[in-house]
């Protein structure tokens, strides 16, 4: 009987730091050998001329998340993780949203129930706190951290979600106390409200108004404020979905001061612009996300920051709503005001191919940077390293084999999400994942699902590498 369950032979293995041609031996779901001419496996995969990378970890996705306006997310944990697998991911970290008035513990339990038995790939959860009551911060938060949810997102915008300054302060004190990582959606709620009213009064109610109502200054101001609170409370802070140059300046300003401030960006900020929201007649609603895509200069600023290592991770912010549906993006956007269009776009399946093609194939970032930005840094920052995020002896065999020459044109037809469109329709890319395995089992092949719902397991996470052990 063969010693290894699977051997991936003769591929170019890439980690965040090294690149080597070797064989990978897998047994009982873990990587147990890296070497030349290793023994036979029960299954042999020839990876000659292919890249063998750690499977993507997408640490910013929204699946089956409740909304307060009647809109319904297109993907649940089954379809979202299926789509993620087909795009080269082996793990996702969706958000567990606490609704105002709801117990934090209950919200987490509900999301566990939604995910359990449904996922094609492994998953963890972040908590969103919208109601920072004494009960939530003092009683429930320590419990959920013990349960392996060691990161908390807060919002500085949205009705029923935005925290005021005192609440932000209190959440940071609580995360400091329990050793959790604070993530922030930084946009100034009051400023957006005023800008929205002004645009509506002037009759600018189409989707483009979404971008015009939240120019980058509202993101820059909120980012600076969040950084200042993190400094006061003495906690690390992770700024999610950074959209352009002014915000990057704030992140770098903080880093220069020695503050533990970290950030991510997403494909929409590299490839879309606010002009896409002008698409006629109301197709612009397909690009409504927050923060909104900016302009070409801000795209360049994001690329430059990615290449210079300012961003720690690259995520999708997959937050899908069907376009042609009463509970999706189109109707409300067309008939009333942009302010009713649910915020968010699909992207869990296209994140990696877009960064690979436009980043690696076009020479903007190295392959090792790609691995760090899409897998290894996620595992470290969200407390799962080295179990996840690397190709190393003892790590889970979470692997994506890429054909770096494969040409693919992104179209809605080839994708596996439950959304009815992709914002990247018609984009031609070079490089695509051809085999994706989670703990040694193939979950996607040639962009199509090859696993089954329920195989993916919950990963209980430890302390973030960014959070000091006090
Ligand atoms: N923030 C997110 O992180 N995702 C979608 C919408 C939003 O505002
Ligand atoms: Zn957000
Ligand atoms: Zn998001």
pLDDT in tens, 263-276: 999 999 999 999 99
Q: How far is CA 53 from each of CA 21, 125, 195, rounded to the nearest angstrom?
A: 12, 24, 45
| Percent over 90 (pLDDT), the chain | 96
Of all ligands present, the nearest one to the C-alpha of 71 is: 1
Confidence at residue 332, expressed as pLDDT on a 0 to 100 scale = 62
**62 is written with which tokens?**
């929204």
Do residues 364 and 303 touch, judged by C-beta distance below 8 A? yes
Q: Is residue 89 part of a domain?
A: yes
Q: Is the pLDDT of residue 333 over 80?
A: no
Per the domain annotation, does 388 fall within a domain? Answer: no
Q: Tell whether 396 is covered by a domain.
A: no
Residue 174 located in a structural domain: yes
Mean pLDDT of the chain: 97
Q: Which ligand is the nearest neighbour of the Cα of 317?
A: 3
The preferred substitution site among 344, 345, 346 for testing ligand 1, maximizing ligand atoms within 8 Å of CB, is: 344
* Range of the structural domain that residue 288 is part of: 56-361
Which CATH number fits the domain that encloses residue 290?
Answer: 3.20.20.140
Q: Please report whether residue 368 resides in a domain.
A: no
pLDDT at 58: 99
**What pLDDT digit, counting tens, does each position of 198-236 carry?**
999 999 999 999 999 999 999 999 999 999 999 999 999
Atom number in ligand 1 closest to CA 290: 8
For the CA of 61, the nearest ligand: 3
Atom number, ligand 1, closest to the C-alpha of residue 317: 4
Contact present, 383 and 57 (Cβ < 8 Å): no
Distance from the alpha carbon of residue 62 to the mean position of ligand 3, in angstroms? 6
Nearest CA to 222 out of 246, 199, 198, 200 is that of: 246
The model's pLDDT over 92-103, given as tens digits with 9 standing for 90+, comes to 999 999 999 999
Q: Does some domain include residue 100?
A: yes
Task: Return the pLDDT at 138.
Answer: 98
pLDDT of residue 409: 98
241 CA: nearest ligand 1 atom:
3
Tell whether the model's pLDDT for residue 280 goes beyond 90.
no
Whether residue 435 is contained in a domain is answered as no
Which pTM value belongs to this model?
Answer: 0.98
Q: Among 311, 337, 296, 318, which residue's Cα sits nearest to residue 424?
A: 318
- Is 149 part of any domain? yes
What integer pLDDT is reported at residue 279 of this predicted model?
83
Q: How many domains does the chain have?
A: 1
């Amino acid at each position: 009987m063969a010693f290894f369950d699977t051997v991936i032979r003769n591929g170019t293995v890439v980690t965040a730091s090294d690149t080597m041609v070797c064989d990978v031996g897998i047994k009982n779901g873990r990587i147990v050998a890296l070497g030349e001419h290793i023994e036979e496996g029960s299954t042999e995969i020839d990876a000659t001329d292919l890249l063998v990378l750690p499977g993507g970890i997408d640490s910013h996705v929204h699946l089956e998340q409740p909304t307060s306006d009647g809109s319904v997310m297109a993907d649940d944990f089954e379809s979202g993780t299926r789509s993620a697998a087909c795009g080269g991911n082996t793990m996702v970290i969706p958000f567990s949203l606490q609704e105002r008035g709801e117990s934090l513990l209950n919200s987490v339990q509900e999301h566990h129930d939604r995910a359990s038995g449904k996922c094609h790939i492994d998953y963890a959860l972040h908590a969103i706190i919208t109601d920072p009551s004494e009960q939530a911060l003092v009683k429930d938060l320590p419990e959920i951290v013990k349960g392996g949810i060691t990161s908390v997102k807060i919002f500085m915008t949205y009705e029923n979600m935005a925290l005021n300054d005192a609440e932000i302060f209190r959440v940071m004190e609580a995360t400091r106390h329990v050793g959790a990582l604070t993530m922030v959606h930084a946009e100034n709620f009051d400023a957006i409200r005023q800008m929205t009213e002004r645009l509506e009064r002037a009759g600018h109610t189409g989707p483009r108004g979404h971008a015009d109502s939240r120019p980058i200054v509202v993101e820059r101001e909120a980012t600076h404020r969040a950084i200042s609170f993190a400094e006061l409370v003495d906690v690390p802070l992770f700024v999610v979905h950074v959209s352009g140059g002014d915000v990057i300046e704030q992140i770098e300003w903080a880093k220069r001061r020695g503050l533990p401030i970290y950030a991510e960006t997403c494909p929409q900020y590299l490839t879309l612009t606010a002009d896409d929201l002008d698409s006629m007649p109301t197709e612009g609603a397909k690009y409504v996300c927050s923060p909104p895509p900016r302009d070409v200069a801000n795209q360049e600023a994001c690329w430059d920051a990615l290449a210079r290592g300012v961003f720690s991770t690259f995520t999708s912010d997959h937050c899908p709503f069907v376009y042609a549906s009463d509970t999706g993006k189109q109707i409300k956007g067309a008939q009333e005001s942009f302010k009713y269009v649910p915020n968010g776009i699909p992207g869990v399946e296209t994140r990696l191919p877009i960064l690979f093609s436009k980043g690696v194939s076009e020479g903007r970032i190295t392959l090792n940077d790609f691995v760090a930005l899409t897998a290894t840094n996620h595992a470290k920052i969200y407390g799962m390293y080295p179990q996840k995020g690397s190709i190393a002896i003892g790590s889970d065999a979470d692997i994506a084999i890429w054909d770096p020459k494969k040409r693919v044109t992104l179209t809605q037809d080839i994708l596996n999400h439950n959304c009815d469109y992709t914002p990247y329709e018609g984009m031609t890319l070079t490089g695509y994942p051809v085999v994706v395995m989670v703990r040694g089992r193939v979950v996607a092949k040639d962009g199509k699902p090859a696993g089954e719902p329920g195989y993916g397991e919950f990963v209980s996470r430890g302390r973030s590498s960014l959070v000091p052990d006090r």
